[in-house]
Structure 1
Amino acid sequence: MNKNFILHQAKPEDFEMIEGLLKETALWLKAKGSLQWNGILDGKDNHDTASAILRGEVFYGTVDNELAGMFILWDCQSKWDVTLWGADSSNDFYYLHRLNIKRNKSGMGIPHLMIDAAKEYAKQERKKALRLDCIAENRFLNQMYQQEKFDFIDCVKDVNAGEQINDFNLYQYVIK
C-alpha cells in the first residue's frame, strides 16, 4: 500500500474536504461516547484550520487518489501546546495535531503512513523532534504512538480541553 500513499500540503481549495473529514471524525467519536472534538460539530474550530491551511500547516494523505487522512503540523506552539509542554520559543519541534483518518480506510495502516510522512517532513525541515498529546485513557492511541517509536514524556493531569477535563499524555519522537 505504501507505493499508493501520497502526502499533500493542503491548499485553500481543499478546505471543504478537510472540514468534512474533521466533522466525520467528530461524529464517529461522538457515536463512541467521546466528547473529544465535539466543538467541531458546533462550528467551533479551535485549530483555525482555514488559517492553518494558508500557513501551509495542514497535510492530507491519499491512497489511490482517495482521501485517507489528515493532520496539522505547527512549528510554533499554540496556547494548548504551551499549557501542556510549557513555553518553548526554539522552533525546534513540530507539534502534531488532529491526526485522523477516513473511517472507510480504518484497518489499512493509514495512521502509520501518515505518521511516517510527518516524521519525514520534520526531518526535511530540520526539526529536532515531533511532539503530540493524546487523552491518557485512550489505550488505542497511546499504544499506537508507542508502536510508532514516540517516547512517553509526561502525563499532565486535569486539563480543560473545552469539551471535557482529561489527563493528557505527552509523546515525542526524536528526529534522527
Structure 2
Amino acid sequence: MSEIFTLHQAKTEHLEMIEVLLKETALWLKAKGSLQWNGILEGKDNHNTASAIDRGEVFYGTLDNELVGMFILWEHQSEWDAALWGTDQGNDFYYLHRLNIKREKAGMGIPQMMINAAKDYAEKKQKRALRLDCIAENEFLNRMYRNENFELVDCKEDFNAGEQINDFNLYQYQLK
C-alpha cells in the first residue's frame, strides 16, 4: 500500500494538536541535551502559534491521514528573521520555522516531504525564495538542508537565541 502525504493549512481547531507536537519535539530536544525550543516547555510561545494559525501561516502534514509533522511559513519577517537576515523591504520570501516531525516517524523521509511541500507552496505564491536558519553546529539539519538544495548564504556568529547563544547558518532555496 502506498502512503499518501498531504499538507494542510492549520485552523484554530488544530491549535492543541500543533502545541502537543511542538512540546513533544521540545522534550525530545531537551532529552538530547539541547536548549533549543526550551521556551516551549516553560509555556513561552515566541512564534505566537495561535496568531500564526489565524494568519494562515501554520501547516501540518499527514501520511495516510495521520499527523506526521508541522512547520510555520511566515510571509513577513519576524523580528528574529530581520535580526538574522537584515530587514527585507519586499515581499519576495517565505521564512520557514519550527519544522518538526513526530519522533516515531523519524527515518521515513517526512522532513523532506514537508520541505518539498513548503517549496511548492512558496512557488505557487510566486515567492522568489524560501529562507530558514538553523544552529550551525547541528550537522544533521545542515546536511538535510543542503541535500534539499538550500544554499548556505551566511553564518551569524554568537547570535542570542534567547535560550542560548549560538552560531546560526542562514539558508535559502531559490524558486525563480
TM-score (ref. length: structure 2): 0.98
Displacement of 1:2 after TM fit?
Answer: 7.6
Question: Which SS does the other structure have where 1:115 is aligned?
Answer: helix
Aligned to 1:79: 79
TM-align CA RMSD: 1.0
1:2/1:111 CA distance change after superposition, 3 Å: farther
What are the Cα deviations for residues 119-147 of structure 1, in whole angstroms up to 9, with x where unaligned?
00000000000000000000000000000
Displacement of 1:84 after TM fit?
Answer: 0.3
Aligned to 2:19: 19
Q: C-alpha distance in 2, partners of 1:84/1:137?
A: 17
What are the Cα deviations for residues 76-102 of structure 1, in whole angstroms up to 9, with x where unaligned?
000000010000120100000000000
Q: Does 1:55 align with 2:70?
A: no
Q: Does 1:4 align with 2:8?
A: no
Aligned to 1:139: 139
Structure 2 gaps of 5+ residues are: none
Question: Which SS does the other structure have where 1:15 is aligned?
Answer: helix
Structure 1 gaps of 5+ residues are: none
Question: Which SS does the other structure have where 1:91 is aligned?
Answer: coil
Identity level (%): 74
Question: Which SS does the other structure have where 1:146 is aligned?
Answer: helix
Moved over 4 A (4+): none
Aligned to 2:43: 43
Displacement of 1:3 after TM fit?
Answer: 5.3
TM-score (ref. length: structure 1): 0.98
Displacement of 1:7 after TM fit?
Answer: 0.2
Aligned to 2:128: 128
Q: C-alpha distance in 1, partners of 2:2/2:96?
A: 21
Count of residue correspondences: 176
Question: Which SS does the other structure have where 2:27 is aligned?
Answer: helix
Q: C-alpha distance in 2, partners of 1:118/1:170?
A: 17
Q: Does 1:172 align with 2:172?
A: yes
